[in-house]
Structure 1
Amino acid sequence: MSILDIIALFIFLSGAFIFINTFYLKLPSSIGLMIMALVLSIIVYCVGAFFPELHLAEHVKEYEFEEVLYQIVLTFMLFSGALNIDFRKLSSQRGSVLVLAIVGVLISTLVIGTGVYFMLDAMSIHLNYLYCLVFGALISPTDPIAVTRTIKRFNLSKDLEIKIAGESLFNDGVAVVLALTLLDIAHAGEDHTLSFFETTYIVIADIGGGIFIGLLLGYIGYRLLKYVDNDAVEVEVLITLALVLVGSQIADFIHVSAKQAAVVMGLVVGNEGKSTHVASAAGDYVFKFWKLLEETFSAMLFVLIGLEMLVLDLRLDYLAAGFFAICIVLFGRWTSVFIPIKMMSVKNHFAPNTISVLTWGALRGGLPIALSLSLTDFNGKDVIVTMTYIVVVCSVLYQGLTVPTLMRSTGSSSDANS
């Protein structure tokens, strides 16, 4: 089976999953896709047990998807997420959203990483503390698609809705860049003990360089889009595609964060492209294209993780660690919401139920899966992928199905569909 056959199979299964969920299951997208991915895993396992030559997961194992996931999927998903962040809609909530996204991710990474480190140590599973922090960062982003669709089902207050949607869109880029920066530090520290100045240089070079490249290419892309007529849809789409792919290659070539560059490019094009000061530089179809691409990748990632789990070294202690990690991740999320909100409550008003809604409504999605699978090989990668899979599954299914109950019990809203 060639790599093109595998990709074609992923696309076919993703399309079939979306079709079945849309017309038959009629569940929220992330929940429906996750359920079907689990069913697919069971079917593939059973077929492989009775007909080893047809074991699809073994064919998947022949190919290294890390490079594709890192260079294409992650970059595209981050650009798409940033493209849809509209600073004007955040209005007065801009400061709260930025603090929740940036400070919240930092707190979440520290709390989850530290908790997982001591949990694994108690289970006699060795994982370097920096790699535990990498897990803390990569599991911190919430799924903006799932969160946005959850919000639309309820009549939340406008301020709370903006906080939830804005924070979910922002924390993706922050968490991914932090995870990859920590990974660079961990890899560099394997050769020798890093000094404070070496660590600081890695952080500044990764993030600062990525921001510079993103601003530069984002502005160039905006000027090109402004020059092209909005009716030339294919030209505008190709410009954005070229912008992301070339920007990623340039950033990698000069050893700065390509993911940070993708986020900044998305922010520049998304906001300047919709600016009211000039005629809309980017047509609606550009935004629709990237939204469709993001949802397609999310669906394919659920298919991939369902197959990938069948070829991992699934140890009982790794699975147990994953279920323990669920509690640690939820506590880390609660802490990352509680501390910033209590600090900001001195000058800003927050609804009484904001902390509980932000904590339990934070569903994980395709981004943590893509990031965990794209990590370069190191001692402990399997346990990180296993924990990520279990946390995402439980988040999507358990939290996703119980969010309506939370909304009603807190009295924050009434179901919009009722």
Structure 2
Amino acid sequence: FIVFSCLIAICNGEATDIALDAKANLTHRIDSLNLLLYTFLLTLTVLTIWLFKHRRVSWLHETGLAVIYGLIVGAIIRYAGTTTPVIHLPVEPQANAKFNQSLPPDTLWLDFPGKLDPGINDPDRVQNKTYAYVFRGQVVDIDENEIDLKATFDPEIFFNIILPPIIFHAGYSLKRKYFFRNLGAILTFAIIGTTLSAFLVGALMYGCVKMMPENSSNSLSFLDTLYFGALISPTDPLTILAIFHDMHVDVNLYALVFGESVLNDAVAIALSGAIQNYGEHYSSTGGFEQHAFIRSLGDFFGVFMLSLVIGATMGCVTALLTKFTRVRDFPLLESALFVLMSYSTFLIAEASELTGVVAVLFCGICQAHYTYNNLSEDSRTRTKQIFELLNFLAENFIFSYIGVSMFTFPKHHFDPLFITAGFVCAAIGRAVNVYPLSFLLNIGRKPKIAMNSQHMLFFAGLRGAMSFALAIRNTVSEARQMMLTTTSLIVIITVIVQGGAASSLLNWLKIPVGVDDETEQLNNYPGVRSDTDNGETEGVGASSSSKKPHEKAFLARIWGDFDTKYMKPLLTHSRPTLLETLPVCCNPIARLLTTTEQLTQDSGIRRSDSDSDLCLEDDDYRNTATNVADPQHIRRNSINRESKFAHILNPHPL
């Protein structure tokens, strides 16, 4: 009898824990079902992409497929799925509670009565158990179910987990030669154009809001519309670029579209942060405050430049680690170090209240330009494939999530007038970004940006992952909810419609296609002969003198010279070494920073890879071609180099 009584007491005492275990198991099952849902969406997208490629279907891209499948599944969850009700408990704060009533608390502690393990002498004692509930935002739909809630992710997941691989891959896979050759135009479109577009869209939207009925515009301020302009200005022409790549569109047009999309993400996130800072510094006097504006402008440039420095520094540190250690002997460890150093760049910038997107972008560029050359062959292949895979999955996950969230996200606010104004103003902002700036660039640019290429640049202004991530990060107020809904619709329409019509537009605008990188290289640098020339272009080298140095980007020429003489010898095993480029007085430091591999490698043949060189001068190409054609020249260089550095490698010969 005593044993039976003890068992009953234990069961009564653990009833609450058993119920909580059951609730935890239910939550785990719903989480697994939710992840399975998105895994199924990605699998279906991959299979459909294969079918489209097999059938040579070009009117719908993978991102458009992901959005469409997401919309279908979201509608099924919303209107045909089984409901798992959520238990709600209305709570009111105590009258004397000390908290800021204008700002919700971060966590909520609720006391629930629960029985103690009954004792022999006092079986009726009770003890309150405190449970913490995390702030999730304003309640919109009281009839929401748990599956809808689980299908909606925490916005921080996008910024801390999904966005970093996408942004890093953009920098790591950058065709740097064509990027830096068009550096001036890219910076103009990405920085000046994005900023101009953001303020223009914000001003136009504010004017449209003022003309709307009172119930539609009473929650929107000028700062809100400026923030909307900043988040809707960055482009994500993933669909267009994939079509460019498949059709081998002119590499300069490709570089302009890709380079702008890479940098304007970083500009947009820094600009949106500056606008938020202006709101924090603003004292609500009802007018323009010069002090708050100047401070926000300083924050914009300061955050952007410091984030850039952090990203470049981490890339250089990784390059030094891979250069001066033998970690390459263990490719798995080398790849792990590469990934961890790259991801830590994003976290360092975010923890320092800077912009992780900017930092990880420039870290990717530096990793590709310097660290990649120090990696072993296994690590080169592995890192390229890892980030290509992560980028593919993350991009398609985001577009699938955009489609699903249109039906499952509880905080959408549909305002037809605001949505229509958003589409129109976004198009106007894109036009102002492209056409006036192209006109100014063409005054001193060679080759000029043709009008048809300008039309394609305008059409390539698709919105994507960055705009959605900025919009969903804060949806507490009604104004931010309207921005999220409008941004989601703009992303969906532009990805499906503009992405699907890109191939037809290329043909209609008669933009050159079928241009290979090597063909473009030979056209720009006639002194280079490919292996297939068979000596039929002997007279081309003389015509290379017609290529004037000023036709290359001014910034690219300056940086290319500095990079070749100092940065590459410092961070990689490339030649010439610092012993050859630094003054004689710096020889001790130069020898310390020069590896034996640099001194002993054969520099007679210079590799001209479009992904590894920033910009190569014509003389470099002619020298390369001459050296390849003259083995005796290579042999003489090798002998001279060995005699020059013999005393360095063995200063005290026997």
| TM-score normalised by structure 1 residue count | 0.87
2:257 and 2:457 in contact (8 A); partners too: yes
Distance in 2 of aligned mates of 1:165 and 1:176: 18
Q: Counterparts of 1:20 and 1:285 in 2: how far apart (Å)?
A: 24
Alpha-carbon spacing, 1:239–1:60, altered in 2? closer, same or farther (3 Å): farther
Contact 2:475 2:481 in 1 (8 A): no
Equivalent in the alignment of 1:259: 357
TM value normalised by structure 2:
0.57
- Deviation digits for residues 128-161 of structure 1 (CA, Å, limit 9, x no counterpart): 3223222222222222532321212435333323
Q: Does 1:387 align with 2:486?
A: yes
Select which of 56, 69, 82 maps to 2:158: 69
User: Is 1:100–2:189 an aligned residue pair?
Assistant: yes
- Give the 5 Å matches for 1:185-196: 185-189=278-282, 195-196=292-293
| Higher RCO (Cα < 8 Å, 6 or more apart) | 1
Could you list the runs of 5+ residues in structure 2 that have no partner in the other structure? Answer: 1-26, 54-59, 86-142, 516-654
Deviations 1:63-91 (A, max 9, x none): 66122222222233222222222322335
Q: Which amino acid aligns with 2:503?
A: P
Matches within 5 A, 1:364-403: 364-375=463-474, 377-403=476-502
Alignment equivalent of 2:320, drawn from 223, 237, 243: 223
Asked if 1:45 is matched to 2:78, the reply is yes
Structure 1 residues 409 and 392: CA distance shift in structure 2, 3 A:
same
Cα distance, 1:243 vs. partner?
Answer: 2.1
Answering whether residue 120 of structure 2 is matched by residue 32 of structure 1, we say: no
Match of 2:439 among 339, 342, 347: 342
CA contact (8 A) 2:331 2:376 kept: no
Could you tell me which residue of structure 1 aligns to residue 586 of structure 2? none
Letter in 1 for 2:74: S
Q: Is the 8 A contact 1:98 1:167 kept in 2?
A: yes
Matched-pair contact (CA < 8 Å) for 2:178–2:251:
no
Following superposition of structure 1 onto structure 2, how do residues 218-297 of structure 1 map, counting pairs within 5 Å?
218-226=315-323, 227=325, 232-274=330-372, 283-297=380-394
Which structure has the highest helix share of the two?
A: 1
Q: Which has the larger radius of gyration?
A: 2
Q: Does the CA-based 8 Å contact 1:148-1:165 persist in structure 2?
A: yes
Partner residue in 2 for 1:363: 462
| Alignment match of 1:59 (pick from 147, 154, 157) | 147
* Residue 201 (structure 1) shift: 4.2
* Match in the other structure for 2:49: 22
In 1, Cα distance between equivalents of 2:237 and 2:336: 25
The offset of 1:367, in angstroms, is 2.6
- 1:220-240 deviations in Å (ceiling 9; x for gaps): 122234446667553344223
C-alpha contact 2:328 2:375 (8 A) present in aligned 1? no
Asked if 2 retains the 8 angstrom alpha-carbon contact of 1:141 and 1:368, the reply is: yes
Cα distance in 2 between the residues matched to 1:299 and 1:396: 12
Partner in structure 2 of residue 117 of structure 1: 206
Which string of whole-angstrom CA distances, capped at 9 and with x for unpartnered residues, describes residues 238-264 of structure 1?
Answer: 223322443333323332222222222
Question: Secondary structure of the equivalent of 2:193?
Answer: helix
CA contact (8 A) 2:459 2:498 kept: yes
**SS at structure 1 position matched to 2:461:** coil
CA RMSD between the two structures: 3.0
Distance in 1 between residues matched to 2:321 and 2:499, nearest whole Å: 41
Whichever residue aligns with residue 179 of structure 1, its letter is: S
Describe the shift of the 1:113–1:268 C-alpha distance in structure 2 as closer, same or farther (beyond 3 A). Answer: same
Instruction: Please tell me whether the aligned partners of residues 147 and 168 of structure 1 are also in contact (alpha carbons under 8 angstroms).
Output: no
Aligned partners of 1:323 and 1:390 also within 8 Å: no
Q: Does 1:306 align with 2:403?
A: yes
Count the aligned residue pairs.
Answer: 411
**Percent same amino acid among aligned pairs?**
20
